[in-house]
Amino acid sequence: MAVGDYCTEVLTLFAHPTHAGDLEATAGTRLHGEAAALDRSAWVALSALCRDGRVIQARWRAWGCPHLLAACELTALQLEGRPLESLARFSLNELAERLEVPAEKLGRLLVIEDAQRALAASMPATG
């Protein structure tokens, strides 16, 4: 059941964000990526704690509408457990479809994509 412009999944993720905030103080490599589009009322910071080539913990901080915040929660949830080499991959269409984001708000999801790419770019060089 949807309420207003928000589907049930958006309302649930928005009301119960388990990945909002800061990383726990645990050993591992810390990554950070941030992006903003203030003209679209969107700011996103993603953080990840990595060990053994995988994301073991992901967190986010953001400013924006419920669609954006729910999308940040879902993005962090999906990052956990992923191998580091997959961090740059982001499916805007999949996220938008799953959360039933209206076309006029898709530009805000691009900010999450930019933050995730910045997160991937913050990986230390190997070699």
Provide the CATH number for the domain around residue 17: 3.90.1010.10
Q: Residue 127 is encoded by which pair of tokens?
A: 């070699």
83 domain residue, yes or no: yes
DSSP state of 122: T
73 domain residue, yes or no: yes
DSSP state of 53: T
Does position 126 have pLDDT exceeding 70, yes or no?
Answer: no
127 domain residue, yes or no: no
Q: Residue 74 is encoded by which pair of tokens?
A: 């879902």
64-111: pLDDT as tens digits: 999 999 999 999 999 999 999 888 888 888 999 999 999 999 999 999
DSSP state of 1: -
126 domain residue, yes or no: no
93 domain residue, yes or no: yes
- For the chain, what is the mean pLDDT? 91
φ/ψ of 43, rounded to 5, equals -140, 135
- Domain boundaries, position 108: 8-23+31-121
Number of domains in the chain: 1
Q: What is the pLDDT of residue 61?
A: 98
27-36: pLDDT as tens digits: 889 999 999 9
Its pTM stands at: 0.91
